[in-house]
Structure 1
Amino acid sequence: MILSHDVSGSGPAVVLLHSAVCDRRMWDAQWQQLVDAGYRAVRCDFRGFGDSPLADAPYSDAGDVLALLDHLGIESAALVGSSHGGRIALTVAALRPGAVTALALLCPGIPGHRPSESLRAFGAREDALIEAGDIDAAVELNVETWLGPEADEETRASVRTMQRHAFDVQMEATVGPNREDVDLSLITAPTLAVGGAHDVPDFRGIAAELPTRLPNARHLELPWAGHLPNLERPEETTALVLEFLKEAAPVG
């Protein structure tokens, strides 16, 4: 199966990978600006998110992204990943290092991370609400946990819509994604690891740690950000990503 996706523009490819509380619509504010800057922008929905259906057999999110790149004839691309999408970006870059020109990671996950007690408690509370049939409360729990103080009501409504859709679809899931064990030291792409000062400790720590795990990475923490900075301050985050891409994956 090829993931549901959008493609626009020409020039070096930039692939946008969404978080697990959103879908590809989370990149609306960045989409046209990437195209206008001279990039070929690609965004996709992972299985069970947005317009991509659930899987009926074991699969890999990273494998799906690589299959999409092959389908589009893209031999190399910069990857911009948010949270879960950041973890998938790192996995793709480790599996096929020569295909990834740059990594811009916004509050990313990381392969093999063991959740802290507080993150496990969040997951348990979410599971309990879902099992009780209180999906609205589970949605609100995610909105309150993952959006920082800069998020306005329009942004919160957008995340509610995306998260609710994901819950509604994924309650029918019988198969989940495989988790690859990858060697991050194989990653050669220049990497920007962005953290948010208002994010949960797990993800703040992952972003800060990545320069010690990757040979060509730097860390930046945004003092105003929660877990989803490109939704909380779209213009500022877009400018940050474009500035990094100009250095790491220039047009022309």
Structure 2
Amino acid sequence: MTSTSHLAHDVAGDGPALLLLHSTVCDRRMWDPQWRILIDAGFRVTRCDFRGHGDSPAADRPYRDAEDVRDLLNALGVDRTAVVGSSFGGGVALEVAARWPDRVGALAVLNAAPPLTRPTPALTAFQAREAELIAADAVAEAVELNVATWLGPEADGNTRAMVRLMQRHSLDVRLAAEKFARPSAEYRLARIGAPTLAVSGGHDLPEFRSTAAELPRLLPRARHQELPWAGHLPSLERPAEVARLLVDFLREPA
């Protein structure tokens, strides 16, 4: 583990660059099941922790996650990379690809955070309940709410325990980071020219499913694939299947 720039990260493997961006329910450990598979498939893989997650400290000044990612790529000397992002990490991946399109050669987003749709009652109710629990210092209950909301029926006990551990750490430190988060930057998704795979889960909340379905209309080289068995975190629910999906996509001719 290294901590160049603001973000703790790991780098391993040889070959084309590949960057993995985690969900805010988790941290970079969520990619443990795919890590060795992607390295063995011939990629030089980087995964990082966003601020206030995993081994990255909470922010002490204004920041944007996409700019942190750009700075990390600069520090590592990576001019161009494929990017895979899960949930919030998928939203960051879209921002990076839209603001610096020459830096992203391929893009896969798994249930990307919804920049395109208004929250439905289900997401609004989740956010309100989580805020209520955190305000009451009921962190353990907030963790269980996240585990129940974001993992689908395919997730086993070990996966639930892993997400529980990562989410508890995130909730313990993230408020300190969030108070410095800067407002959304202006960018146009239509600037994304990279081949894009937009994955949704059949058991996920409607916002995320509709975002994935909408991206092919907005991006010139995007396609949508729904996984009928998946919840919000398919890479944890069926790790080997998602690894194969990603490797097959990343190996497609540009």
**Cα distance change, pair 231–33 in 1 and its aligned pair in 2 (3 A):** same
Are positions 1:159 and 2:163 aligned together? Answer: yes
**Cα distance change, pair 25–140 in 1 and its aligned pair in 2 (3 A):** same
**Cα distance change, pair 159–36 in 1 and its aligned pair in 2 (3 A):** same
Q: Look up the equivalent residue of 1:215 and give its one-letter code.
A: P
Structure 1 partner of 2:131: 127
Q: Is the 8 A contact 1:49 1:166 kept in 2?
A: yes
* Structure 1 residue ranges without an equivalent (≥5): none
Kindly state the Cα deviation for residue 178 of structure 1 after the two structures are TM-superposed: 3.5
Structure 2 partner of 1:221: 226
2: CA distance between counterparts of 1:131 and 1:178?
Answer: 23
What SS class does the counterpart of residue 128 from structure 1 fall into? helix
Q: Is the 8 A contact 1:91 1:111 kept in 2?
A: no
2: CA distance between counterparts of 1:92 and 1:187?
Answer: 9
Calculate the TM-score normalised by the size of structure 1: 0.96
Q: Is the 8 A contact 2:27 2:50 kept in 1?
A: yes
Deviations 1:34-59 (A, max 9, x none): 11111000000000100111111110
**Cα distance change, pair 230–177 in 1 and its aligned pair in 2 (3 A):** farther
Instruction: Give the 5 Å matches for 1:5-44.
Output: 5-44=9-48
2: CA distance between counterparts of 1:20 and 1:104?
Answer: 17
Are positions 1:51 and 2:55 aligned together? Answer: yes
What SS class does the counterpart of residue 172 from structure 1 fall into? helix
Structure 2 partner of 1:201: 206
2: CA distance between counterparts of 1:105 and 1:248?
Answer: 18
Instruction: Output the aligned Cα RMSD.
Output: 1.2
Aligned residues: 249
Structure 2 partner of 1:187: 192
1:3 to 7, 10, 21: 7
* Structure 2 residue ranges without an equivalent (≥5): none
Q: Look up the equivalent residue of 2:197 and give its one-letter code.
A: L
Calculate the TM-score normalised by the size of structure 2: 0.95
Kindly state the Cα deviation for residue 109 of structure 1 after the two structures are TM-superposed: 1.4
Q: Is the 8 A contact 1:188 1:215 kept in 2?
A: yes
Q: Look up the equivalent residue of 1:75 and give its one-letter code.
A: D
Structure 2 partner of 1:89: 93
**Cα distance change, pair 95–111 in 1 and its aligned pair in 2 (3 A):** same
Q: Identity over aligned residues, as a percent?
A: 59
**Cα distance change, pair 177–156 in 1 and its aligned pair in 2 (3 A):** farther
Instruction: Give the 5 Å matches for 1:141-160.
Output: 141-160=145-164
Moved over 4 A (4+): none
1:247 to 239, 245, 252: 252
Kindly state the Cα deviation for residue 112 of structure 1 after the two structures are TM-superposed: 5.6
